[in-house]
Chain A
Amino acid sequence: MLNAERKPVTGKRVQLMATCLCDAIYDDVGRATVEVLEHAGCTVDFPEGQTCCGQPAFNGGDWAAARKVVRHAVRTFTGEDPVILPSGSCAAMLFHGASLAFEHEPDRVEVEALGRRTWELIDFLVNGLGITTWPGRFDAKIALHRSCHTRGTESIPAALTLLRSIPGVEVVEFGEVEQCCGFGGTFSVSFPNISTAMGTLKLAHLRAAQPDLLASVDMSCLMHLGGLAAHEGKPVKIMHVAQILRDALKHP
């Protein structure tokens, strides 16, 4: 879902919304996000009061609860600076999901204003800042999982552009690239059989390409795929694209 009426980027100050996954589990992805943004010349502001984008409740069907969380985000991310998330899914929640949940609410305007300055990180680097090549070196065969909530956005083309520009990176193709990993938030626990079957299929496609690692712009998918693989006793290496960009910088 494209963020259609997105505000053009003018300055280099950004607000980071780390997402609850980085907050609770993947702190290194949060760190990489900051370092990558700073490398791009941005000043990163991290509003301390931030929590979550509201998506778990929104997708779970509890829109009243979701609105509570989105309102908190609106209060926390004030000003006009772009809000950057290292997650296509959480970004889509803010620029698309939230406007659905606020269709009949008096504060819809504020919510949509936040949506218009919300960016998924890699999309921001390429289409917000105009970066099309990335320096450094990263030696790996990478399978890029297309997380579903980047469908119809510029995030995946952006990620491919940057990854392919890094010396040493080989992006490998695999079967049924458009198919979902089966995570789906609460879907993964309320429909565990289907979710697992979907993930297993995805893993099989990914593994067939024999990559060194699975990458994505969403840690949620990687958490699911990585968790499945580890449970099978055949772990796979997972990395957020931001981590790859950051690590590439270490090898000039």
Chain B
Amino acid sequence: MAKQLIDQFAATLPADKRASVYQSTKSTHEKRTKMLFDQFAEPNRLRALAGEIKQHVLEHLDTLLPAVEAKLQANGARVHWAATAEAACTAVLRIMQARGATKMVKAKTMVSEEIALAPFLEKHGIEALETDLGEFIVQIDHDHPSHIVRPIIHKNRREIATSFERHGLGAYNDDPQTITRRARQFLRQKYLQADVGLTGANFVSAESGRIVLVTNEGNSRFSLAAPPCHIVLVGIEKLVPRDRDLGLLLNLLARSATAQQLTVYTEFISGPKSAAQPDGPEEMHVIFVDNGRTEVLASECREILRCIRCGACMNVCPVYRQVSGHAYRSVYPGPVGAVLSPLLAGKKFPELADLPKASSLCGACHEVCPVNIPIPDLLLRLRDKAKREGARRAAAGTPPMGAWALLASQPAAWKAALFGSKIINYLPTKLLPVPPLRAWEDTRALPEMRGGEFRKWMKGRKKS
């Protein structure tokens, strides 16, 4: 029987990686929980409200998108639309070419990962440099982020020091402070030389057209202080209805993501720099990206589009903690990724249809999600979809249920099977080539089968 890819991945993940992913996700989760419950009277009420606000946005995108477009234009930004990843990449390229630009500094944006922007631009002779420390390290290592908030959660300081040395960023030194200072020195020159700064957006207020961006490092601020042109790459689902709703969402985002009351830099950008300001972009472009989102919106899993990319679901997820992010073979790992990645894959859904299976459905993700996404329900819906579409990757290792259901809807057959099950007690089960049995018994003892005993007892009581 075929095996589950994510389970196989878990088996090969080095123990030290697993341990460091476990330690850091656990500690972030615990700090997050303490902070929310210490500081707010009703944190779960906040999560529910935030979920309702984002759900409202999703179900009113038809009116909100044109409204925000008009706001942005009135604020002096140019608005572009990209239905696909290719269209989004091309839109960025066109803006750059029109300015004769060849150098870009990028703040961390998951959308740019999703559309594979940096490799695309490089092919067209454009340097697109990551400026978030973690993303920068991922980029010089030709690696992939393994967590949406902590891209290098899978790397240790020794690996980082080695690649810094290899890339001419100083002799080997694995002190995190030194690593950070070296990146600071190297990157600030890059900001100053760049023609374009590209960022994502955490929120876009439909009311004011303000783009809200949060970072701790200050890289997005630098991208908006040095280069003369700012490009914002944003998924169409990132809107919030009113500025006041940001009070709720920002409070939840910072606590959920990094256990902070506010992220260090929260920027509200509504257009190019003002006339008197010597630094910053004189031109601002906003690219609204679909790339599969409208399909998700049309599906019964649209709630996943509420996601504000805080990473709390992966921090608490017992499966993510065992496998880390690369196991999910996609840009979005963990519980959110197990829902979003197969959906965004569109026609390639079957290739990622095993992701929703990689869950014990424990529900911890739902419990922490700041926008209250019922992730387990969505995982279940996708399991059903995978089954209906006959996705083989999803089916691997799951015992077939058809015959069982037949049995479980016929009481006589069920009772017979119950009594029959006792035979297992007398069989050399360890020798039986039944895959689910093997999978169980390799690490877990089988309980004694006592089929029918309870019914016998019940009957006996009735008589007496």
Contacts and interface: CB of A to CB of B under 8 A. Distances in A.
Interface of A: 1, 18, 20, 22-27, 30-31, 34, 46, 48-52, 54, 56-66, 68-69, 71-72, 76, 97, 100-101, 103, 148-149, 151-152, 176, 178-180, 182-199, 201, 223-224, 226-228, 230-231
A136 to B, nearest CB: 21
B448 interface: yes
B173 interface: no
Interface in B356-370: 357-364, 367
Given A25-B450, A61-B386, A227-B444, A193 B380 contact: no
Please give me the 8 A-B residue pairs with the lowest Cβ-Cβ distance, nearest first: A184-B360, A190-B397, A61-B383, A227-B444, A65-B405, A180-B362, A230-B445, A27-B454
A52 B451 CA distance: 13
Contacts of A103: 300
Given A151-B364, A186-B399, A190-B439, 5 more contacts: A61-B380, A180-B318, A180-B360, A191-B7, A193-B8
B399 A27 contact: no
A62 B411 contact: no
Contact of B319 (A49, A69, A194): A194
A96 to B, nearest CB: 8
Contacts of A189: 397, 399, 435-436, 439-440
Say whether chain B's binding surface is mostly helix, strand, loop, or mixed: helix
A69 B383 contact: no
Given A24-B449, A24-B451, A27-B454, A148 B401 contact: no
B454 A60 contact: no
Contacts of B279: none
5 contacts: A25-B448, A62-B405, A65-B402, A198-B319, A227-B445
A190 B398 contact: yes
B363 A187 contact: no
B444 A148 contact: no
Contacts of B8: 193
Contacts of B323: 194
A25 B447 contact: yes
A1 B363 contact: yes
B62 interface: no
Interface string B392-436: 001111111110111111010010001001000000000000011
Interface of chain A, main secondary structure: helix
Given A54-B408, A186-B398, A193-B7, A27 B450 contact: yes
A94 to B, nearest CB: 14
Contacts of A52: 408
Given A23-B454, A23-B455, A184 B404 contact: no
B454 A196 contact: no
Given A148-B364, A192-B442, A57 B318 contact: no
Contacts of B10: 191, 193-194, 197
Contacts of B362: 148, 151, 179-180, 184
Contacts of A23: 418, 451-452, 454-455
B439 A24 contact: no
Nearest to B402: A65
A60 to B, nearest CB: 5
A223 B447 contact: yes
A63 B446 contact: no
Nearest to B385: A61
B436 A184 contact: no
A179 B364 contact: yes
B6 interface: yes
Contacts of B445: 226-228, 230-231
B21 to A, nearest CB: 12
